[in-house]
Homo-oligomer: A and B are copies of this chain.
């Protein structure tokens, strides 16, 4: 029972995630969030210091979730070849989106509404994250496993395709998260491997 504050705060973030993803940050008012939680608009400010603060909390947590999942995928696939390491990274990314599409979706599309300093911080983290993809692609090319490609272009191509999942994934859809991960991992690996027919 001593943990009412963090729970309340989290409920606000979760509701905000859902609304930000559905309508966008700028089109969602503080009163929209409050109303969805049966609160008065001004009452939200007992728990948060500003609207942007809520967005930042969501984006920061989402970024950490992606990073942690990628760390685990990298550790558990460390001894595999580049193809299996790329597949593990893709699977981790898909799993994070499927586990909380609202959180991931806001991170992917709404970070531009942050203040310049925070936006820069997010861009730096996003670039470091994309670098994981580039590094595996470079490794795979060096090992002769992947065909020669512009690694930056290939990494961006794959990562934007993965992020697109946050735009269309709905729980209970035709495919389970695991099946989607199967498909996406295969498509991503093929993207960097030559057609040898």
Out of B27, B149, B164, name the residue touching A160 (CB < 8 Å). B164
Q: Is the CB of B187 within 8 A of A157?
A: yes
| Nearest CB of chain B from residue A27's CB, rounded to whole Å | 4
| Nearest CB of chain B from residue A177's CB, rounded to whole Å | 13
Name which residue of chain B comes closest to A166, CB basis. Answer: B160
A 92-123 binary contact with B (CB < 8 Å = 1; else 0): 00000000000000000100110000000000
Out of B26, B112, B153, B159, name the residue touching A187 (CB < 8 Å). B153
| Nearest CB of chain B from residue A122's CB, rounded to whole Å | 14
Query: What is the size, in residues, of chain A's interface with B at 8 Å between Cβ atoms?
Result: 39
Tell me whether A183 is interfacial, beta carbon within 8 Å: yes
Q: Describe A's contact surface by its main secondary structure.
A: helix
| Stoichiometry, copies per complex | 2
CA distance A76 to B165 in the complex (A): 32
Set of chain B residues within 8 Å of A180, measured between Cβ atoms: 153
Set of chain B residues within 8 Å of A160, measured between Cβ atoms: 160-161, 163-165, 167
Q: Is the CB of A154 within 8 A of B195?
A: no
Whether A183 contacts B24 in the complex (CB less than 8 A), given A163-B160, A195-B189, comes out as: no
Out of B113, B156, B196, name the residue touching A195 (CB < 8 Å). B196
A-to-B contact residues, CB < 8 Å: 23-27, 109, 112-113, 147, 149-150, 153-154, 156-161, 163-165, 167-168, 175, 180, 183-184, 186-187, 189-197
